[in-house]
Amino acid sequence: MNETWTALLYLAAAVCFIVALKALSSPRTARVGNLVGAAGAVVAVLVVLAAERPERLVWVLAAIAVGGAIGAVAAQRVAMTQMPQMVALFNGVGGAAGALVALLELPEGTSGEPAHLAVTAFTVLVGAVTFSGSLLTFAKLQELVTGRPLIFPGMRWVAAATVGGALATGVWVAATGSVPGAASLAVLALGIGLLLVLPVGGADVPIVISLLNAFSGITVAASGYVLGNTLLIVAGTLVGASGTLLTTMMAEAMGRSLPNILFGAFAGGSTLGGTTESDRPVRSAGPQDVAILLGYSRKVIVAPGYGLAVAQAQHTLRDLTDELERRGIEVVYAIHPVAGRMPGHMNVLLAEADVPYEKLKEMVEVNPEFRTADVALVVGANDVVNPAAHSAPGSPIYGMPILEVANAASVVFLKRSMRPGFAGIENELLYEQKTTLLFGDAKDSLGKLVTAVKAL
C-alpha cells in the first residue's frame, strides 16, 4: 500500500475516533459512537496488516487471535459490577504496551535525535507507572488487597527518592540512549506506580482509575511519536485529553483537589474510615410498610448506588418504579457523579434496564427537587448521600457535594447491613427519625416491594 493511501485511511480512522468520542458524550448516541469507533479501529488495523512484511504477519495475526479470544471471553463473563476492574486492567495493558514498544525501539534510536530519545524515555516512564498503578488499582477493587490507604514509615521520602531517581535515569536515557538505563527507568517507574496508588483508598479509587486512563492515552500518543505513527498520536491524545478532563470533573465532584486525593494520606489524612458495623438503634420496617409509604406518595426520588450493581437489581428497580408510575406517582432517578466504582456506572446500569434517559437527573439538577419529594429511596448508596460531607470537617468525604436526600419528607434506605460504605464512615442520616431501613439483598427487597405495592 502506498503512502498516500495509508495517510488517507489513517485520516479516516482518526475522524472516526473523533466522531465516536463526541457521540459517546450522550447516552442517546453512545451506541452509534461505539460502532463508529470500532470501525475506525478496524480500518487502522487493516492498514497496518497491509503494510506489514509477510514474515511478521503470522506473528501479528497470532497475537490478534489470542488477544481477541481473551477479550471475547472477558466480555461475556465479566459482570457489570466488575467493569471498573476491567477498565483498570485495560489501562495497565495499554501502558505496558507503550513502554514495551519504546524499549524495543530504543536500540534502533541510540544514534537518533535527542528529542526522539527523550520521548522514548518519557514513554517508558509513563507506561510503566500506568501498568503497575493499574494492577494495584485492580487488586484494591477486587479486594485482593485492602481498599484502605496503605502508608509505611518514611514512605514520602521513599517516593521522593524513587521519583528523583527515575527523572535522573530518564535524563541519562535521553542523553545516551542507554538500553540498561531504560530498563532501570522501567523498574523505577513500576515502583512509582505502586507508590502512587498505595496511599489512595475508599471513594477516591475511581478517580485514580480515570487518571491512569489518561496516563495510558499519553503513553499511546508518545509511542506514536516513537514509531512515527500519526494515528497513534491522534488516538492517544484523545484518550489522554478526555481522561484528564474526566479526572478533573470527578475531583471537583468530590469537592477536593487532585493533589489532595493523591497525596492527602501523606499529611496524616485518610480517604477511608472504619469498616465495622454499628450497633446503634435504627428504625427498620418490612416490605409492606415501605410499600405503603411509597404507594401513597406523590413524588419519589430514587438514589441508586453500588449496592444496586452488586445485587444486579436494576431490572427489579425498574419494575418497582413502573408500578409506582401506574399509580400516578412521579418517579425520577438522582445520579451522583461518583456513584458506583467508575464514572457513569449508574447511567450504564440503569440503561441496561431500559430506564428512560429523561428520568435520570444529575446531582445539580435534582438536589432542589428533594424538598418536593415525599420519599427518597436510597438503593445501595451511602457515601454519596452522607450528610457528613457537609457537617463533619474531620470526615474523609468532607466537602464532597452529595445528593441531598435528607431534604425529602421521608428517606428509605435499602441496605444489606449497617456496614459503612466504600469510604468506611457511618451515615448519621440512618439514625434520624425520618429514615426507615429495609434490610436485605437489594434485588430481593425490591422484588418484595413490587409485590407489596401491587397488593395495595
Predicted pLDDT of residue 270: 44
The three-state DSSP-derived secondary structure of the chain is: CCHHHHHHHHHHHHHHHHHHHHHCCCCCCHHHHHHHHHHHHHHHHHHHHHHCCHHHHHHHHHHHHHHHHHHHHHHHHCCHHHHHHHHHHHHHHHHHHHHHHHHHHHHHHCCCCHHHHHHHHHHHHHHHHHHHHHHHHHHHHCCCCCCCCCCCCCHHHHHHHHHHHHHHHHHHHHHHCCHHHHHHHHHHHHHHHHHHHCCCCHHHHHHHHHHHHHHHHHHHHHHHHHHCCHHHHHHHHHHHHHHHHHHHHHHHHCCCCHHHHHHHHHHCCCCCCCCCCCCCCCCECCHHHHHHHHHCCCEEEEEECHHHHHHCCHHHHHHHHHHHHHCCCEEEEEECCCCCCCCCHHHHHHHHCCCCHHHEEEHHHHHHHHHHCCEEEEECCCHHHCCHHHHCCCCCCCCCCCCCHHHCCEEEEEECCCCCCCCCCCCHHHHCCCEEEEECCHHHHHHHHHHHHHCC
Residues of the domain holding 240: 78-267
311 and 165 within one domain = no
The domain boundary residue, chosen from 209, 238, 267 = 267
CA distance 226 to 229: 8
344 and 237 within one domain = no
CB 339 within 8 A of CB 306: yes
88 and 184 within one domain = yes
CA distance 166 to 245: 26
Residue 325 located in a structural domain:
yes
Cell of 334: 438522582
Total count of domains within the chain: 2
Cα angle 372, 378, 384; round to 5:
95
Q: Compute the chain's Rg from CA coordinates.
A: 25
The domain boundary residue, chosen from 237, 267, 297 = 267
291 and 208 within one domain = no
From the list 289, 354, 374, 383, the catalytic residue is: 383
Residue 46 located in a structural domain:
no
255 and 151 within one domain = yes
Residue 346 located in a structural domain:
yes
347 and 211 within one domain = no
167 and 82 within one domain = yes
Residue 302 located in a structural domain:
yes
Residue 6 located in a structural domain:
no
The yes-or-no answer on residue 383 being catalytic is yes
Q: What is the pLDDT along the chain (456 residues), one digit of tens a residue?
A: 677 888 888 899 999 999 998 888 777 788 899 999 999 999 988 888 887 666 778 888 888 899 889 888 887 887 766 777 888 888 899 899 999 988 988 875 555 678 888 999 999 999 999 999 999 988 888 878 876 778 888 888 999 999 999 999 999 998 888 889 999 999 999 999 999 888 887 667 778 888 898 999 999 999 888 888 888 898 899 989 988 888 887 777 666 677 777 776 555 544 444 445 556 777 888 999 999 999 999 999 999 988 888 888 899 999 999 999 999 999 999 998 777 766 677 887 888 888 888 888 988 899 999 999 999 999 988 888 888 878 777 666 777 788 999 999 999 999 887 776 666 677 888 888 899 999 988 899 999 999 999 988
Predicted pLDDT of residue 271: 46
332 and 234 within one domain = no
389 and 348 within one domain = yes
The domain boundary residue, chosen from 239, 267, 295 = 267
Residue 407 located in a structural domain:
yes
Predicted pLDDT of residue 99: 92
420 and 295 within one domain = yes
326 and 184 within one domain = no
Query: Residue 413: which CATH number?
Result: 3.40.50.1220
CB 405 within 8 A of CB 376: yes
